[in-house]
Amino acid sequence: MAFISEMHELYLQCHTEQFAGNTVAIKKRAIRYFLGMVGDMDIHELSYRHAEEYKIRLLDPAYCDRAGRKKPGKASANDYMTNLWAFFAWLVKRGDLRRNPFFGLPRYKEEKKPVEVFTAKEVELLLKRSGERYRLPVICGAIFGLRLGEALNLTKHDIDLKDLTVEVRSKSGSRRTWPWSTKTSYQRLVPIPAIVVFPDFRVPVSQWLRSRIATCKHPYLCLSDRQYYSMLKMQNTGMNANGRTLAKHELQIEANRPWRGFGHGWIELWYRVGLPQRDYKSFKTLRATFGTILSRQMPIDDVQVLMGHSTPKTTRTFYIAREEQQIRDRAREELENYYVS
């Protein structure tokens, strides 16, 4: 007999080098919910009925209350189903399973929300008032277009102040660093502007980087000394703070989030710099702001390369805010002259 939990653990072990830490976390959450709903059984007992049951219960408020977890949105539910589809497809490919139980299961229809971006004034306030602790992560998101995991794993060796570039690359690990993989597993170079001009503020980016490199006592520029040495100890011993031994893919998840509690700290930072609660935006929105600004002057294919996406469709769909007012104005102008042309 081959149980679902055992095969999923093998699946993660076989793809350790391919999956980024946050991807592994989503996959583990998806399978945990699945096992909680349908039970851990022999994979040969699985059927389309189990996948249907999973889909229904994911968004069932009563079931979620009984399970003691928050009901996910439709987008998250679709992510979980997609990740389970990939797992069972792998089992089919190996010959362990005859048919993928998620094959043909329709996804939830999602309401497409417009891409949010920061205003110039919001980014300016964050850079002015965030203090040294958060200033570099803000620069990494808004000016370099880095993902949070990429920013937190940025080291001194990734910065070239001579050529003014940031190299985003996976790391194999050494005595002073830990193994870490980028989401797309290939490296890219992002330019460093010497100065970025805001309406009431000039950001000397290269000067700030040079100062941080000179004062940082360890390789990771966005981490405090405590965060760095805590993560290094975990990676070297293979155990977390509670003394539990971690599997390789679990260490990979930890490596992608060496700054624990960053999300809560980001919320506090938002209020501390004086930005209104109703306008709150996540760190990820900085990256969308980067993509939107570049798309105004550059082809989408070029923006895709700088952002590290595998296809321009991802860039266009999730990271470029549409200038709807300009679209309406252009459409109005075309319609007004429709019969003249």
Give the tens place of pLDDT for each residue, 264-273. 999 999 999 9
Distance set, CA 120 to CA 141, 205, 323, 333 (Å): 14, 16, 15, 29
Here the tokens at position 145 are: 């277009």
The answer to whether residue 335 scores a pLDDT higher than 80 is: no
pLDDT for 212-253, tens place per residue? 999 999 999 999 999 999 999 999 899 888 888 988 778 888
Task: Report the pLDDT value the prediction gives residue 328, as an integer from 0 to 100.
Answer: 77
- What was the pLDDT predicted at 213? 96
H-helix or E-strand containing 202?
strand 201-203
Mean pLDDT along residues 280-307: 94
Cα 341 to Cα 337: distance, rounded to the nearest angstrom = 6
Please compute the mean of the pLDDT values over residues 296-300 and round it to a whole number: 92
Answer for the pair 106, 278: CB distance below 8 angstroms, yes or no: no
Report yes or no: 128 and 299 within 8 Å, Cβ to Cβ.
Answer: no
What is the reported pLDDT for 206?
93
Between 310 and 219, the higher pLDDT residue: 219
Per-residue pLDDT tens digits for 133-171: 899 999 999 999 999 999 999 999 999 999 999 999 988
What is the model's pLDDT at position 185?
A: 66
pLDDT number for residue 340: 59
